[in-house]
A = this chain, B = another copy of it.
Amino acid sequence: MSLLSVKDVSYSYDGIVNVLLDVSFDVEEGAITGLVGPNGSGKSTLIKNIFDLVKLQSGTIHIGGHEHARPEAKQQAIYLSSNDYLPEFLTAREYITMMARLFDVTVDHGKALALFREFSMEGRYDDLVEDYSHGMRKKTQLVSALVVRPPLIVIDETLNGIDLEALHLAEKEFRRVREEGGSILLCTHDFSVLERLADRTVFLDLGHVVYDEPTGDLVAEHGSVAEMVFDYLETSQR
Contacts and interface: CB of A to CB of B under 8 A. Distances in A.
A160 B161 contact: yes
Given A88-B83, A89-B44, A224-B192, A54 B164 contact: no
Contact of A189 (B90, B98, B167): B167
A20 to B, nearest CB: 14
Contacts of A81: 87-89
Interface of A: 13, 36-39, 44, 47-48, 53-54, 81-83, 85, 87-90, 94, 98, 120, 126, 128, 130-131, 133-135, 157, 160-165, 167-168, 189-193, 195-196, 224-226, 229-230, 233
B39 A126 contact: no
A88 to B, nearest CB: 6
A205 B115 CA distance: 23
Contacts of A88: 81, 83
A160 B160 contact: yes
A70 to B, nearest CB: 14
B226 A196 contact: yes
Copies in the complex: 4
A167 B192 CA distance: 14
A38 B98 contact: no
A46 to B, nearest CB: 11
A39 B233 contact: no
A133 B134 contact: no
Contacts of A164: 36-39, 189, 229, 233
